């Protein structure tokens, strides 16, 4: 379960950013998680409760925004939203290897006080 | 440098931490902290939001890039071998060492949650092996690999093989600084493996189907497996082999030798 390692890094980045702003408490963290990231949001929630203990984020809430998969079809030279994980272009049937978005694991923003 | 006022904010830094403020002169993103005085309104402090927009893997990715440069500076070709437990990574590497060590000098980094059993198996024939015991961690990261690599006599090595922890989920997200990612699956695992682990298969440079010698016994549908791989990772080269019998090994060994030459030649050109 790499969600614990991911959450540890997320909380570390968040605490550093909050400290730079002289904030003493983090009220919420917003993350963007791509549908092709291999990260399970439920496991992130679970890890979050554990790794925020003893940090300025200990009472914070975690908000997760899912990022759908968008690929680029080279033959058609256009982006598309695939119907399944094979990333097949609905127009020409080409299997795309160019993922424009959907692999994100990001800390988007914080609410601090 | 900022195109508006000439301050030293680079685009990359802005991505790390953007915080938009309205200045009298103009509006743009700064990475630097601004003086915030936390004024209370009748004793009630107010909250505010901070834009971060940072990939959680940014630190690892940066270290991985550094590893790649370090490896190339040493004329070293590096592969990261990933698979689920029991698909035959160690057997494949044993066979690869046996058949390739007269042509290339090899070294291996082995990651396991516990025990150094695999490292002991691979250490025969004088091959240098660095063991990473990850404890509870289910993947290797770029920092661990650099630490292990520094224990190896890399100046005398052409091919460094990283045997990742047996897991098709977590290692997918961690770039180790390898030049090629090799994903191994065996005929006993089912034809739909690429569909079950899309993140890993989409990142593969090579997919190896191992244990082809027992394909018939386990009712392995070869055509369907190949179709799934070609759909999920059209960029990947596919090898079908049996590390146990040696069938199909030649094409894989040729690939390693060719890629070693190509990678080093490209590095010299650049």
At residue B35, does pLDDT exceed 50? no
Higher pLDDT, B13 or B174: B174
Is A107 within 8 Å of B45 when comparing Cβ atoms? no
Model confidence pLDDT, tens digit, residues A13-36: 999 999 999 999 999 999 999 999
Q: What per-residue confidence (pLDDT) applies to B270?
A: 76
Among the listed ranges B20-24, B107-111, B171-175, B192-196, which one has the minimum average pLDDT value? B20-24
In this structure, is the dihedral angle defined by the CA atoms of residues B233, B234, B236 and B241, taken in order, positive or negative?
A: positive
Q: Which of B17, B139, B235 sits opposite A2 (nearest CB)?
A: B139
Q: What per-residue confidence (pLDDT) applies to B42?
A: 53
In a 3-state reduction of DSSP, which class is residue B261?
Answer: helix
Rounded CA gap, B18 and A17, in Å? Answer: 11
Model confidence pLDDT, tens digit, residues B160-191: 999 999 999 999 999 999 999 999 999 999 99
β-pairing, B237-240 vs B206-210, is parallel
Is B46 within 8 Å of A113 when comparing Cβ atoms? yes
Determine contact, residues B91/B99, Cβ cutoff 8 Å: no
* Residue B83 in tokens: 């698979």
- Minimal CA separation from B178 to chain A, in Å: 19
Q: Does B202 touch chain A (CB under 8 A)?
A: yes
For B174, nearest residue in chain A (alpha carbons): A2
Q: What per-residue confidence (pLDDT) applies to B126?
A: 82
Q: Which domains does chain A have, with CATH numbers?
A: 2-68+102-112 (3.30.2320.50)
- Minimal CA separation from A110 to chain B, in Å: 5
Residues of chain A contacting B47 with CB distance shorter than 8 Å: 27, 111-113
Is B52 within 8 Å of A9 when comparing Cβ atoms? no
Higher pLDDT, B127 or B114: B127
Rounded CA gap, B269 and B246, in Å? Answer: 36
In this structure, is the dihedral angle defined by the CA atoms of residues A52, A55, A58 and A61, taken in order, positive or negative?
A: negative
Determine contact, residues A105/B170, Cβ cutoff 8 Å: no
Tally Cβ neighbours within 10 Å of residue B255: 17
Q: Does B224 touch chain A (CB under 8 A)?
A: no
In total, chain B counts a number of residues equal to 270
Q: What per-residue confidence (pLDDT) applies to B43?
A: 52
Question: Across chain A, how many H-helices and E-strands are there?
Answer: 2, 6
Q: What per-residue confidence (pLDDT) applies to B269?
A: 84
DSSP structural state of residue B156: G
Model confidence pLDDT, tens digit, residues A56-91: 999 999 999 999 999 999 999 999 999 989 999 999
Question: Residue with structure tokens 């396991």?
Answer: B112
- CA R_g for chain A: 17
Residue contacts between A and B (CB atoms, under 8 Å) = 101
- Minimal CA separation from B44 to chain A, in Å: 10
At residue B193, does pLDDT exceed 70? yes
Is A112 within 8 Å of B49 when comparing Cβ atoms? yes
At residue B44, does pLDDT exceed 80? no
At residue B1, does pLDDT exceed 70? no
Q: How far is CA B149 from the centre of its chain?
A: 14
Q: What per-residue confidence (pLDDT) applies to B34?
A: 46
Q: What per-residue confidence (pLDDT) applies to A1?
A: 61
Q: Does A100 touch chain B (CB under 8 A)?
A: no
In a 3-state reduction of DSSP, which class is residue B207?
Answer: strand
CA nearest B87: which of B14, B164, B9, B184? B184
Is A105 within 8 Å of B55 when comparing Cβ atoms? yes
Q: What per-residue confidence (pLDDT) applies to A2?
A: 84
Rounded CA gap, B106 and B68, in Å? Answer: 17
Q: What per-residue confidence (pLDDT) applies to A74?
A: 95
Determine contact, residues B189/B87, Cβ cutoff 8 Å: yes
How high does pLDDT run on average in chain B?
A: 84
For residue A66, give every residue at least 6 positions away whose Cβ sits within 8 Å of its Cβ, in sequence order, or none: A33, A34, A35, A41
As beta bridge partners, residue A95 has: A88
Q: Does A108 touch chain B (CB under 8 A)?
A: yes
φ/ψ of B120, rounded to 5, equals: -65, -40
Mutate to test the interface with B, among A85, A87, A94 (most CBs of B within 10 A): A85
């Amino acid at each position: 379960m790499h969600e614990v390692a991911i959450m540890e890094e997320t909380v570390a980045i968040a605490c550093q950013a909050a400290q730079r702003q002289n904030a003493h408490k983090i009220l919420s963290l917003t993350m963007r998680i791509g549908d092709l990231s291999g990260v399970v949001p439920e496991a992130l929630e679970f890890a979050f409760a554990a790794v925020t203990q003893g940090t300025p984020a200990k009472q914070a809430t975690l908000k997760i925004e899912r990022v759908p998969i968008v690929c680029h079809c080279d033959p058609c030279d256009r982006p598309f939203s695939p119907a399944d994980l094979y990333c097949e272009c609905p127009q020409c049937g080409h299997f795309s290897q160019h993922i424009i978005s959907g692999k994100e694991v990001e800390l988007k923003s914080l609410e601090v006080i | 440098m900022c195109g508006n006022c000439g301050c030293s904010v680079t685009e990359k830094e802005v991505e790390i931490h953007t915080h938009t403020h309205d200045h009298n002169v103009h509006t743009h993103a700064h990475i630097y902290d601004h003086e915030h005085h936390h004024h209370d309104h009748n004793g009630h402090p107010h909250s505010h939001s901070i834009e971060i927009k940072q990939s959680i893997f940014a630190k690892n990715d940066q270290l991985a890039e550094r590893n790649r440069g370090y490896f190339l500076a040493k004329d070293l070709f590096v592969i990261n071998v990933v698979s689920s437990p029991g698909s035959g990574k160690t057997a494949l590497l044993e066979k690869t060492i046996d058949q390739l060590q007269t042509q290339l000098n090899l070294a291996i980094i082995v990651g396991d949650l516990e025990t150094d059993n695999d490292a002991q198996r691979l250490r025969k024939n004088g091959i240098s092996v660095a063991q990473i015991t990850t404890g509870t961690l289910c993947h290797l990261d770029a920092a661990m690999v650099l630490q292990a690599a520094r224990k190896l006599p890399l100046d005398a090595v052409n091919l460094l093989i990283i045997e990742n922890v047996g897991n098709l989920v977590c290692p997918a997200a961690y770039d180790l600084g390898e030049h090629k990612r090799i994903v191994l699956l065996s005929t006993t695992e089912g034809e739909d493996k690429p569909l079950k682990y899309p993140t890993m298969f989409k990142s593969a440079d090579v997919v190896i189907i191992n244990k082809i010698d027992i394909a018939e016994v386990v009712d392995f549908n070869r055509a369907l497996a190949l179709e799934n791989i070609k759909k999920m990772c059209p960029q990947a080269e596919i090898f079908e082999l049996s590390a146990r019998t040696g069938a199909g090994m030649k094409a894989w060994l040729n690939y390693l030798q060719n890629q070693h030459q190509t990678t080093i030649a490209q590095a010299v050109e650049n």
